């Protein structure tokens, strides 16, 4: 049938072979060779079935091969590789294979915001990861991250889709005003906290923390009344929401193994080590178990670029956060907006002693555009100009600082100069935040062109993610 087989995808069970292949049109197909009574989607040609990469076939396949089902990763050093296009997983796997077995992967990872912008529901993200895993022959543990969940309905939807890692984002419940409010105002704010859900009272919180000193490895945490009230009012409602989300996940996931991450990284102000301690202590009291936590670190964690800020100051704060983490010893520190933060990876690896989770997302999309810049320059110019035109609208929901006045003029660049735009600060962010509109406008053509350059895309991903993962290997 003129099929080109992906050799790593060939798996045999009993007398039947299962594999992926490309046909004469370049599209991937799923093939069953032998006798199998499963109700696959596709057409039989004697003892050979050729079928689509559909959700029905994905469901059958994950039942036959347990390693195609996500699991939990615990406290292992881990990294999430968001894939907004649904075809990057083989390239991610090539990077994990390159660096060895010291880092556990999360291959299915997408936020509800990205689900909406890419028109890929949680189940579709899971299935795309499965086909990539099957193609590359990855048979070791991996996880699936339902990222930045904000509502109970989000948890239910992702639980039904089979996710094993739930990132709770209580951003809407964080009181950023408390960061600078007076003690009088904080006393007033404290009265309206959801005390029933918190299962405590202001008097009990005061007894637990006020004037208490917690000795950590290199410094002490001391709760005076102002700092206690500030932590309580800033994060109290968020802690209560995390408890509700945890209970919902427990109810809908039931017997499937699962883990939770707490994310407060998208708040307007940094999380102090004292606030970090308070959040973890209160979640522990409420019985909320979580495997990783993403504080809002000092400095700039902007999309698609390296860390912006004083590295010496950052390292001092990171040491304190790592000391809090080690004091409890039950979770990892998580790096959100972690793509391309190359100056920080060695610091995290050293100070967390490997108890760290790296979360990336848009950088794989940017590497897809790099392939276009190299192999389809005219198409890349169209995407770039469209992204420039959309930037002032798209940046509203992202933390970026790119300025259009600093973006190089496309008409003054030769085709050979286009790939360098992916390394230019302002243009990289412009391209990053416009992905939703780009996919709505050019998505079909982009995926077709990437399919034609599949090997090139996976290779640039491998090289790019090796740079992300290598600092965390030990």
pLDDT digits (tens, 9 = 90+) for 101-141: 899 999 999 999 999 999 999 999 999 999 999 999 999 99
- The single residue of 33, 36, 114, 147 carrying the catalytic annotation is 147
Annotation says 147 is catalytic = yes
- The single residue of 145, 169, 259, 261 carrying the catalytic annotation is 261
* Average confidence (pLDDT) over 352-379: 97
What total number of domains does the chain contain?
Answer: 4
Q: Specify the higher pLDDT residue, 347 or 254.
A: 347
181 plus 213 within the same structural domain: yes
Please report the pLDDT score of residue 193 as a whole number.
98
Annotation says 261 is catalytic = yes
Against a cut of 0.75, is the pTM above it? yes
- Are 364 and 81 spatial neighbours (Cβ–Cβ below 8 Å)? yes
Mean pLDDT (the chain) is: 96
Q: Which helix H or strand E contains 387, and what residues bound it?
A: helix 377-394
Please report the pLDDT score of residue 25 as a whole number.
82
254 plus 275 within the same structural domain: yes
Please report the pLDDT score of residue 473 as a whole number.
94
Which tens digits make up the pLDDT trace of 221-232?
999 999 999 999
247 plus 347 within the same structural domain: yes
- Is the pLDDT at 220 greater than 90? The verdict is yes
- Is the pLDDT at 413 greater than 80? The verdict is yes
In sequence order, the 6+-apart residues with CB closer than 8 A to the CB of 420 are: none
Tokens of 98: 């390159």
Domain assignment of residue 252, given as a range: 68-174+231-362+467-472
- Is the pLDDT at 455 greater than 80? The verdict is yes
292 plus 397 within the same structural domain: no
44 plus 79 within the same structural domain: no
- CATH number of the domain that residue 354 is part of: 3.20.20.70
Which of 74-83, 111-120, 282-291 has the least mean pLDDT? Answer: 111-120
122 plus 73 within the same structural domain: yes
- Are 286 and 294 spatial neighbours (Cβ–Cβ below 8 Å)? no
**What does the alpha-carbon distance between residue 237 and residue 182 come to, in Å, rounded to a whole number?**
19
Report DSSP letters for 232-282, one per residue. Answer: HHHHHHHHHHHHHHHHHHHHHHTTS--EEEEE-TTSSSPPPHHHHHHHHHH
| pLDDT tier, 256 (very low <50, low <70, confident <90, very high otherwise) | confident
* Average confidence (pLDDT) over 369-393: 98
200 plus 160 within the same structural domain: no
Please report the pLDDT score of residue 254 as a whole number.
79
Whether residue 372 lies inside any domain: the answer is: no
347 plus 319 within the same structural domain: yes
235 plus 86 within the same structural domain: yes
């Amino acid at each position: 049938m003129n099929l080109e087989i992906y050799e790593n995808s060939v798996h045999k069970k009993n007398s039947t072979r299962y594999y992926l292949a490309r046909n004469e049109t370049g599209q991937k197909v799923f093939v069953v060779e032998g006798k199998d009574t499963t109700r696959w989607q596709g057409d039989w040609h004697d003892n050979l079935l050729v079928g689509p990469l559909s959700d029905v076939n994905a469901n059958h396949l994950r039942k036959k091969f347990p390693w195609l089902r996500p699991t939990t990763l615990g406290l292992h050093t881990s990294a999430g590789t968001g894939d907004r296009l649904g075809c990057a997983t083989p390239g991610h796997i090539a990077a994990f294979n390159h660096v060895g077995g010291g880092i556990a992967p999360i291959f299915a990872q997408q936020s509800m915001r990205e689900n909406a912008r890419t028109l890929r529901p949680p189940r579709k993200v899971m299935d795309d990861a499965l086909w990539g895993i099957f193609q590359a022959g990855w048979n070791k543990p991996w996880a699936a991250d339902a990222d930045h969940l904000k509502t109970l309905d989000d948890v239910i939807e992702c639980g039904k889709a089979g996710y094993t890692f739930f990132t709770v984002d209580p951003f809407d419940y964080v009181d950023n005003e408390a960061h600078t409010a007076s003690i009088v105002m904080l006393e007033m704010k404290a009265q309206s906290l959801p005390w029933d859900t918190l299962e405590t009272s202001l008097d009990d919180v005061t007894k637990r923390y006020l004037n208490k000193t917690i000795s950590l490895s290199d410094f002490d945490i001391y709760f005076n009344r102002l700092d206690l009230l500030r932590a309580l009012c800033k994060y109290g409602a968020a802690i209560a929401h995390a408890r509700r989300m945890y209970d919902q996940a427990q109810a809908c996931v039931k017997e499937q193994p699962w883990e939770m991450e707490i994310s407060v990284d998208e708040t307007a102000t940094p999380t102090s080590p004292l606030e970090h301690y308070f959040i973890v202590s209160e979640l522990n009291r409420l019985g909320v178990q979580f495997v990783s936590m993403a504080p809002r670190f000092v400095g700039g964690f902007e999309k698609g670029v390296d860390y912006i800020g004083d590295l010496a100051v950052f390292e001092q704060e990171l040491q304190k956060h790592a000391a809090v983490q080690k004091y409890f010893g039950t979770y990892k520190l998580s790096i959100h907006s972690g793509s391309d933060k190359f100056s920080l990876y060695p610091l995290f690896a050293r100070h967390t002693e490997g108890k760290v989770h790296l979360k990336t997302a848009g950088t794989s999309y940017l590497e897809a555009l790099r392939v276009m810049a190299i192999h389809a320059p005219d198409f890349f110019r169209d995407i770039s100009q469209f992204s420039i035109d959309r930037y002032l609208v798209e940046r509203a929901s992202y933390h970026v600082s790119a300025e259009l006045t600093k973006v190089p003029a496309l008409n003054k660049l030769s085709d050979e100069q286009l790939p360098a735009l992916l390394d230019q600060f302002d243009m990289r962010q412009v391209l990053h935040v416009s992905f939703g509109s780009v996919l709505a406008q050019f998505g079909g053509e982009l995926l077709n062109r990437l399919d034609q350059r599949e090997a090139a895309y996976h290779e640039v991903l491998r090289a790019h993610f090796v740079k992300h993962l290598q600092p965390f290997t030990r």
